[in-house]
Structure 1
Amino acid sequence: MNYYVITESNWAKLRDEILSLAECCHKAFGEKSKHTDWLHNGDVCRLLNISKRTLQHYRDTGILPFTQIGHKCYYKREDVEQLLLARTDKPKNNSI
């Protein structure tokens, strides 16, 4: 394994160059894309660690919003992340 030492002044120069590059990219390409990132059933099941049947229950009960095109269901990444956060924020019942 190799180790490299960088001085504080070199680090500051590198940081400034990276920030300059980021600003240049932002000017060239504009703001972040406003397109929604869509996930399909398999992606959502893996992210939430649930079965396809549980995912169907989430659709049926309105727990997770979805869009259907033909026979396929798609979910907004933001909605899935929000559900994941809501599930992890729930207090656990520690009574035995």
Structure 2
Amino acid sequence: MAIELITKDDLKQFKSELLDEIKKIMKPGSGESKQWLKSVEVRKMLSISPGTLQNLRINGTLRFTKVGGMMYYKLEDINKVLEGK
């Protein structure tokens, strides 16, 4: 059984590659609509205040994903809120 050591440089490279992949996922595709929206975009789309958006998150009406300090919302979840489901 061989023992492999992970160095700090290996971890830095992994971090860089992981961040690049996350950025690719979060970017809208060419010609496609965005799948994930930021809080500012959601508030404009729903015409709501930051406090109202926070209440929607707290009571579970609108699901979100937090990446770093940013919150992202799925477009399909926002459409469900707009439809009243």
TM-score surpassing 0.5? Answer: yes
Deviating above 2 A after TM superposition, structure 1's stretches of 4 or more consecutive aligned residues are none
Task: Output aligned runs, 1:12-31, within 5 Å.
Answer: none
SS of 2:84's equivalent in the other structure is helix
Write the distance in 2 (CA, Å) between the matches of 1:73 and 1:38. 10
Give the count of matched residue pairs.
53
Write the distance in 2 (CA, Å) between the matches of 1:60 and 1:79. 15
Alignment-derived partner of residue 65 in structure 2: 67
TM-score normalised by the chain length of structure 1? 0.51
Q: Which amino acid aligns with 2:76?
A: E
Write the distance in 1 (CA, Å) between the matches of 2:52 and 2:63. 14
SS of 1:65's equivalent in the other structure is coil
Percent identity over the alignment?
40
SS of 2:61's equivalent in the other structure is coil
Q: Which of 56, 59, 64 in structure 2 is aligned with 1:58?
A: 56
Long gaps (5+) in structure 1: 1-32, 88-96
Root mean square deviation of aligned Cα: 1.7
TM-score normalised by the chain length of structure 2? 0.58
Alignment-derived partner of residue 38 in structure 1: 36
Long gaps (5+) in structure 2: 1-31
